[in-house]
Amino acid sequence: MNQIILKKSNLMKRRYQIDSFPIPLWQIEQAIIDQGFDIIIINGLCKSCIIKNSVYLPHNYDSISRVLLAHELGHILCHNCDIHRLDDATKRKYESQADAFSAYFLIPIRRFKIDSKIYNSYELSELYGVPVEFIDSCVKKYLTN
């Protein structure tokens, strides 16, 4: 499962010539727009989601928005359906795949394996422009195996 998602994230990084980190928000937004989706930011929204051809995003700090946008881009590229109408097991699988995509997309694996031996979670968070919680959960799950 993760090899296909890794390939998709690498393809997107090559397509958009992403080779420095943290990835600017505008590049992730452009990738979503190029897939035919609008991005709508709503104050007070609890989490991001996709409805039809729109990505709904809460108003957040850049590091959180970066993760949410990458996660939704993962859904767009990996799942061509409205996941809200699926059974719970399939939803969990698709959410895990989108989490994996966001980790692979936002952080280069080889670089992370070296950096994670040098820096703590807070320093890694700053380096890659993602929340510490993202480093502690999702990233270590997908990038350190």
Which pLDDT tens digit goes with each residue over 49-104?
Answer: 998 899 999 998 899 999 999 999 999 998 876 677 788 888 899 999 999 999 99
Contact 9/76 with Cβ under 8 angstroms?
no
Between CA 110 and CA 143 the distance in angstroms is 9
> How buried is residue 96: exposed, middle or buried, by Cβ count under 10 Å (0-12/13-18/19+)?
middle
Between CA 51 and CA 37 the distance in angstroms is 10
Q: Pairing between strand 54-58 and 49-51?
A: antiparallel
The pTM assigned to this predicted structure is 0.92
Output the six-digit token pair for 135: 């480093």
